[in-house]
Amino acid sequence: MSYGRVTNRELNFIRSIVGTERMSIGDSILELHGKDESFHPKRKPDVVVWPKKAEEISLILKMANDHQIPVTPWGAGTSLEGNPIPVEGGIVIDFQQMNHILKLMEEDLQISVEAGVVYRDLNQYLSRHGLFFPPDPYASSTIGGMVANNASGIRAVKYGSTKEFVLNMTFVLPTGEIVRAGTSALKSTSGYDLCRLMVGSEGTLGMITEVTLRLLGIPPEMMAAVAQFETIRDATDTVFQIIRCGLSPAALELMDGPTVRMVNRYKNFSMGENPTLFIEFHGTSAIGLKEELEVVEEICAENRCLQFDSGIGRDERARLWECRYNAHESIKANHAGLAIFMIDTAVPISKYPTMVEHCHRILSERNLKGYFFGHAGSGNLHLNLIGDPEDRSEWERVQITGEEMIDFAIQCGGTSSGEHGIGIGKRKFMAKEHGESLRIMRRIKECFDPNGIMNPGKIFE
């Protein structure tokens, strides 16, 4: 497809809307908005714009649509699949200045925010009211980015992903039309659910500017435990049994021994470098949590647990979980100059031990370096494959191996992406995973965005 380019005419039009101070064609700004946290190649936009309201975005999108200029939304740039990279150049809309908490409806357990509000800042604000927004990607993600990517994180096993908490939203179509969808009721059977359609759309249908979220009360008590095992299979079998026996952990995370080793080096920790589970429960009483802990400890012991460390309360939880939270950054820091091919599959919980064991065996057979961690309680596996992109032979082996593992996850009834989105890297798996329904997705895309200007190059090949 041939796209229009940003010329002085378009720059002058944008300047008339946002002024000189809220747009930039400076090379350093364009560089910053040409790359996310993934290994995918950088592609600089022609201009970056910082709007303050939906009406400004509306005017810019209408102009871009009239001239078939690509437009890409930008939240915090923390994506891992190239989701915000402007692969066709054009205009990047940065939501940094649309970062206001609009209204807290405490009695309804709801809050309305602009898309640029940072997740951590939101929960820090909510904590003063005894409330929280449960999805936890543990990154400086914006709420708009979380909604567009249907982010989840470590608490997904109990609370679900972002889509479970979106009640209504405002978004702008490429025609410039400002649409308000959804309701403040907790349930509705009225019409098509346009909010759910926008969640996970990665900016390919329109730009989300405002969201109303459902909230929960902060649980009075928390319990955390760390269990280490002799083999990766012992750890994954434990995951299945904890879920199978009816326990309801708020988080159930896995790290393999090499990943623990990376964290030890990066943070100067001294944890045993064995396959490790990080487990968390939320409840109303310490007594109830201790009873659940006893059951978990018994299950772990049956699976040859080497060490079991637990604690009640938020301080203990922070101590036990610090290792897990530093996994990805530790791997990056210990392999400076190399690239990470990130696998983000999710499979049915009964297939999780098989999936992990299969990937572990292939890495060993092919003598490749990789690190396993992930949201085991929801069947989500993160596998960081390490390679040198300058070594074409090595990087090709890394990519082929990663793609074979993703294929295996789909064969297990799973998905190519559990939470990072499709972006650039997972597009080739869409037909295999979705079959004929991919054709319907394309028709929806064409209906919303007939000129294909919204974040082109993402989701669809």
Low-confidence spans in the chain with pLDDT less than 50: none
pLDDT in the model for residue 136: 86
pLDDT at residue 325 in the model? 81
Closest CA to 82 of 426, 434, 430, 433: 426
Domain definitions of the chain by residue range: 8-96, 101-217, 221-328, 337-432
Cα–Cα nearest to 251, from 83, 380, 402 = 380
Res 406: pLDDT: 97
Q: Does CATH place domain 337-432 in 3.30.70.2740?
A: yes
Fold for domain 8-96?
3.30.43
Rounded distance between C-alpha atoms, residue 37 and residue 331, angstroms: 13
Question: Is beta strand 91-94 parallel, antiparallel or unpaired with respect to 71-74?
Answer: parallel
CATH architecture designation of domain 101-217: 2-Layer Sandwich (3.30)
Distance CA 377, CA 367 (A): 28
pTM confidence score: 0.93
pLDDT tens digits for 387-438? 999 999 999 999 999 999 999 999 999 999 999 999 999 999 999 999 999 9
Place of tokens 């604000």: 125
pLDDT at 318: 73
Please report the pLDDT score of residue 288 as a whole number.
87
Check for a shared fold between 221-328 and 337-432: yes
- Specify the CATH number for 221-328; select among 3.40.50.800, 3.50.30.40, 3.30.70.2190, 3.10.20.30: 3.30.70.2190
Beta-bridge mates of residue 387: 339
